[in-house]
Amino acid sequence: MVNFLDQFSISDAKAEGSSENTSTISALLGGIGSDAINASNAQKIAAVFACINVKANALAVIPIKTYKRVGDRKEEDYTNPLFSLLRYAPNDTLIISLYKKMISQDLDLRGNHYSQIVRNGLGVIQSIHPLVADNMEVSLAHGVKTFKYNGVPVASTKILHIFDIPDVTGTKGISRIEYAKECLQFAKNTSSHGNRLFKNSASPSGSFEIEGSLSQEAFDRLKSDLDKKWVGLSNLGKPLLLEEGLTFKPLDIKNSDAEWLESRKFNREEVAAIFGVPVAMINDAANTAYGNLEQKYLEFSTGTIFTITTILEEQFRQSLLTPQEKNTTVIKFKYNAMLRVDTATRGEYYKTRFNTASITPNQILGYEDENGFDGGDERYLQLNIATVKDVNSGKNLKKGGSNNE
């Protein structure tokens, strides 16, 4: 079996031009705004990393099931090769939960995820391998999507292409980083400013005053002492020896602390909104009541995660199934896995479904990874707790009903 990745010479090294003037200006300005936001450095923004991680973790825990249609019903198709690939491991070196995290991270940072689909001579899928999104070129010619990986053309049947924010042609996705560069650049600059401030302890906490002038020798000693003994968090609070009548006058001015902290909070709220994550889920629960937290989590599950899983289901069907399989095979995410962390909600969910005969005791036990029991496959209705079969046959109905008139 030939893996077309072997044919590509992948090079991550890219020439990066630099100029002495740019470096000097960057050093003088402390780097504020000097680095353009991209997929790599955006992750260094705490709020961005937190949002990406929250979404990736949420997607990772939702299992993917492969079903076959049997009449009006569907049953898990354990014999389908996709069942194992999408449930446990897409290839020999990657487990499915990490693969789903890679998909989520690619969508958030680059707007596109690409995977190689490896089939045998009979066209049966053997494995799925994630590709480096930055190395892929996508174009649309005469209504047909074409791919080039490291400049080498690749058949579209060998590529699984997933995106959630389409460009104007619907050919490929647009990164949230591209959409929100201005906001993220401000967040990065605010963070960098704060980091440099605390690293150097450079807030103007006071001024030195003297009657007359300070000798050059005394000035040099003062400057040297400040650099060596006062700069940095570890030196905060240390005494400073002054000479030649020099006095220190504290200033009631800080690093615009309130404004700076408020801007940090605003940044987190904007970044969270960009990624569709409740700000409380990235450790910012200020002024958020518990009931509101629960509602926000529900919105995140149904609005953000449900949208992503729906796109994945549809793209899996489009790219992984043959025309014949599309009529008989169904790929679905099992959302009840998201209830596993909430026993109260899970119990109410099972109770409601059990009382409406939409689930059996054995199915409930199966969802809880517990063994079933004989007779546990019956369905029950909330009518004297009778089985559906008995209700349909007229048994256990109260006297006076239409069947007894």
Q: pLDDT value at position 48? A: 87
Judged by average pLDDT, the poorest of 15-29, 125-139, 303-317, 341-355 is 15-29
In what helix (H) or strand (E) does residue 363 lie, and over which residues does it extend?
helix 361-367
Q: CA 306, 96, 364 angle in degrees (round to 5)?
A: 60
Q: pLDDT value at position 242? A: 62
Domain coordinates in residue numbering, the chain: 32-197+254-338, 204-249, 342-405
Q: Calculate mean pLDDT across residues 42-48.
A: 82
Side chain identity, residue 220: D
Structure tokens given for 225: 């002492």
Q: pLDDT value at position 386? A: 65
Residue 338 class from Cβ within 10 Å (0-12 exposed, 13-18 middle, 19+ buried)?
Answer: buried
Distance CA 315, CA 163 (A): 9
Contact predicate 173/163, CB 8 Å: yes
Q: pLDDT value at position 221? A: 76
Q: pLDDT value at position 380? A: 84
Structure tokens given for 228: 């060596």
DSSP β-ladder status, 64-70 and 73-76: antiparallel
Identify the band that residue 33 occupies on the pLDDT scale cut at 50, 70 and 90.
Answer: very low
Per-residue model confidence as pLDDT tens digits over 153-200: 999 999 999 999 999 999 999 888 877 775 566 555 655 555 555 455
Q: Is the pLDDT of residue 328 over 90?
A: yes
CA atoms 186, 189, 195, 200: torsion sign: negative
Identify the band that residue 316 occupies on the pLDDT scale cut at 50, 70 and 90.
Answer: very high
Q: Beta-carbon neighbour count of residue 99 at 10 Å?
A: 21
Identify the band that residue 346 occupies on the pLDDT scale cut at 50, 70 and 90.
Answer: confident
**pTM metric for this prediction:** 0.68
Per-residue model confidence as pLDDT tens digits over 82-99: 999 999 999 999 999 999
Query: Tokens 């793209």 identify what position?
Result: 315
Q: pLDDT value at position 280? A: 87
Distance CA 84, CA 196 (A): 50
Q: pLDDT value at position 28? A: 29
Distance CA 41, CA 29 (A): 19
Q: pLDDT value at position 209? A: 65
DSSP β-ladder status, 136-141 and 125-130: unpaired
